[in-house]
Amino acid sequence: MKRRELIQACAMAALFPEGLIAGNSVFAANTGTSRYSRFFFDERFVDPATQLSNVVNDVLLVPVRSDVTAVWTGMLSRAARQQSLALQGLTTESFVFCLQRLLHGSHAVEVSMQRVSQDLYGWSLVADHKNINRRVA
Amino acid sequence: MASSLPPGVDVDTLNAAFERFRRIVGNDWVFTDEKLSSYRDPYTLTNDPTEYQPSGAVAPASVDEVQEIVKVANEFGVPLWPVSRGNNFAYGGSAPVMSGTVVLDMNRMNRILEVNEEFGYALVEPGVSYFDLYDYIQARGLKLWLDVPDPGFGSVMGNALDHGIGYTPYGDHFGMQCGMEVCLPSGELVRTGMGALEGNNTWQLFKYGYGPYVDGIFSQSNFGIVTKMGIWLMPEPAGYRPYMISFEREEDIEQVAEILRPLKVGMVIQNAATIRSLIIDAAVHETKSRYYSGTGPVPTSVYKDIMADQQIGMWNFCGALYGPPPVTDALWSVIREAFSRIPGAKFYFPEDRTREHDILLHRAETMKGIPKLTEFNFLNWNGGGGHVGFSPVSPITGKDAINQYNLVNNLVREYGFDYMGLMAVGWRDMHHVTVVVYDKNNPDEIRRMDEVFNILVDEAAKAGYGEYRTHIRYMDRIAQTYGWNNGSLWRMHETIKDALDPNGIIAPGKSGIWPSRYRG
Q: pLDDT at position B385, please?
A: 86
Short-list B359, B414, B423, CA closest to B391: B423
Nearest CA in chain A to B42: A97
What are the pLDDT digits (tens) for B173-194? 999 999 999 999 999 999 999 9
Task: Determine whether B468 is an active site residue.
Answer: yes
Sheet holding B80-83, edge to edge: B30-31, B56-58, B102-105, B80-83
Instruction: Determine, yes or no, domain membership for A136.
Output: no
Q: Which CATH number fits domain B11-108: 3.30.43.10, 3.40.50.150, 2.40.70.10, 3.40.1180.10?
A: 3.30.43.10
Instruction: Determine, yes or no, domain membership for A137.
Output: no
Domain range annotation of chain B = 11-108, 112-235, 240-475
Average pLDDT over residues B220-249: 98
What does the H/E/C string look like for B102-154? EEEECCCCCCEEEEECCCCEEEECCCCEHHHHHHHHHHHCCCEECCCCCCCCC
> Distance from B40 to chain A by nearest Cα, in Å?
12
Mutation pick from B373, B420, B438, B442 vs chain A, by most beta carbons of A within 10 Å, is: B373
Distances (CA, A) of B313 to A37, A40, B53, B194, B339: 41, 32, 42, 48, 14
Nearest CA in chain A to B123: A137
Whether the CB-CB separation of B96 and B86 falls below 8 Å is answered with no
Task: Determine whether B348 is an active site residue.
Answer: no
Which of B38, B85, B113 minimises the CB distance to A137?
A: B113
Residue B209 pLDDT > 50, yes or no?
Answer: yes
CB proximity B116 to A under 8 Å: no
Contact across the interface for B383 and A8, Cβ inside 8 Å: no
Q: pLDDT at position A135, please?
A: 37
Residue window 183-242, chain B: list those with CB within 8 Å of chain A.
none
Which of A67, A97, A130 minimises the CB distance to B374?
A: A67
Which of A67, A118, A119 minimises the CB distance to B373?
A: A67
Average pLDDT over residues A90-100: 96
Average pLDDT over residues B438-465: 95
Q: Which of B52, B438, B468, B474 is catalytic?
A: B468
Higher-pLDDT residue of A59 and B81 is B81
Q: pLDDT at position B99, please?
A: 97
In a 3-state reduction of DSSP, which class is residue B359? Answer: helix
Backbone φ and ψ of B393, nearest 5°: -105, 140
User: How many domains is chain A built from?
Assistant: 1
The residues, ordered by sequence, that sit 6+ positions from B443 with a Cβ below 8 Å of its Cβ are: B47
Higher-pLDDT residue of A79 and B421 is B421
The whole-angstrom separation of Cα A123 and Cα A63 is 15
Contact across the interface for A101 and B374, Cβ inside 8 Å: no
Contact across the interface for A66 and B376, Cβ inside 8 Å: yes
The whole-angstrom separation of Cα B150 and Cα B166 is 7
Please report which confidence band the pLDDT of residue A7 belongs to, taking 50, 70 and 90 as the band edges: very low
Q: pLDDT at position B93, please?
A: 94
Please report which confidence band the pLDDT of residue B384 belongs to, taking 50, 70 and 90 as the band edges: confident
Residue B120 pLDDT > 90, yes or no?
Answer: yes
Whether the CB-CB separation of B324 and B270 falls below 8 Å is answered with no
Please report which confidence band the pLDDT of residue B424 belongs to, taking 50, 70 and 90 as the band edges: very high
Q: Which CATH number fits domain B240-475: 2.60.40.1080, 3.90.550.10, 3.40.462.10, 3.40.50.1580?
A: 3.40.462.10
CB proximity B383 to A under 8 Å: yes
Short-list A32, A42, A34, CA closest to A116: A42
CB proximity B372 to A under 8 Å: yes
Contact across the interface for B114 and A137, Cβ inside 8 Å: yes
| CATH domain B112-235 topology | 3.30.465
Q: Which of B241, B261, B363, B469 is catalytic?
A: B469
Instruction: Determine, yes or no, domain membership for A114.
Output: yes
The whole-angstrom separation of Cα B29 and Cα B14 is 16
Q: pLDDT at position A131, please?
A: 54
Burial (CB count <10 Å: 0-12, 13-18, 19+), residue A92: buried
The whole-angstrom separation of Cα B227 and Cα B66 is 8
Average pLDDT over residues B352-361: 96
Q: Mean pLDDT, chain B, as a whole number?
A: 96
Q: pLDDT at position B217, please?
A: 98
Mutation pick from A104, A112, A128 vs chain B, by most beta carbons of B within 10 Å, is: A104
Q: pLDDT at position A8, please?
A: 42
Burial (CB count <10 Å: 0-12, 13-18, 19+), residue B62: middle
Residue B3 pLDDT > 70, yes or no?
Answer: no
Highest mean pLDDT among A123-137, B331-345, B432-446: B331-345
Q: pLDDT at position A26, please?
A: 67
- B382 contacts in A (CB within 8 Å)? 118
Residue B1 pLDDT > 50, yes or no?
Answer: no
Q: pLDDT at position A51, please?
A: 86
Residue A13 pLDDT > 50, yes or no?
Answer: no
Residue B22 pLDDT > 70, yes or no?
Answer: yes
Average pLDDT over residues A22-30: 59
> Distance from B501 to chain A by nearest Cα, in Å?
29
Average pLDDT over residues A10-37: 56
Find the range with the poorest average confidence among A97-111, A112-126, B276-290. Answer: A97-111
Q: Which of B39, B43, B52, B91 is catalytic?
A: B91
Residue A134 pLDDT > 50, yes or no?
Answer: no
Does ipTM exceed 0.90? yes
- B42 contacts in A (CB within 8 Å)? 97
The whole-angstrom separation of Cα B429 and Cα B171 is 13
The whole-angstrom separation of Cα B191 and Cα B181 is 4
Task: Determine whether B134 is an active site residue.
Answer: no
The DSSP H or E segment spanning A87 is strand A85-91
Contact across the interface for B384 and A93, Cβ inside 8 Å: yes
Please report which confidence band the pLDDT of residue B200 belongs to, taking 50, 70 and 90 as the band edges: very high
What are the pLDDT digits (tens) for B270-284? 999 999 999 999 999
Contact across the interface for A94 and B374, Cβ inside 8 Å: no
- A130 contacts in B (CB within 8 Å)? 28
Instruction: Determine, yes or no, domain membership for A135.
Output: no
> Distance from A32 to chain B by nearest Cα, in Å?
31
CB proximity B112 to A under 8 Å: yes
- Domain enclosing residue A62, as ranges: 3-129
Mutation pick from A73, A78, A134 vs chain B, by most beta carbons of B within 10 Å, is: A73
Residue window 55-74, chain B: list those with CB within 8 Å of chain A.
61
Contact across the interface for B376 and A130, Cβ inside 8 Å: no
- A135 contacts in B (CB within 8 Å)? 110-111
Which of B289, B377, B441 minimises the CB distance to A118?
A: B289
Whether the CB-CB separation of B247 and B256 falls below 8 Å is answered with yes
In a 3-state reduction of DSSP, which class is residue B178? Answer: strand
> Distance from A133 to chain B by nearest Cα, in Å?
8
Residue A34 pLDDT > 90, yes or no?
Answer: no
Higher-pLDDT residue of A3 and B261 is B261
Q: pLDDT at position A57, please?
A: 74
Q: pLDDT at position B147, please?
A: 98
Contact across the interface for A8 and B28, Cβ inside 8 Å: no
Distances (CA, A) of B388 to B377, B391, B479: 14, 10, 18
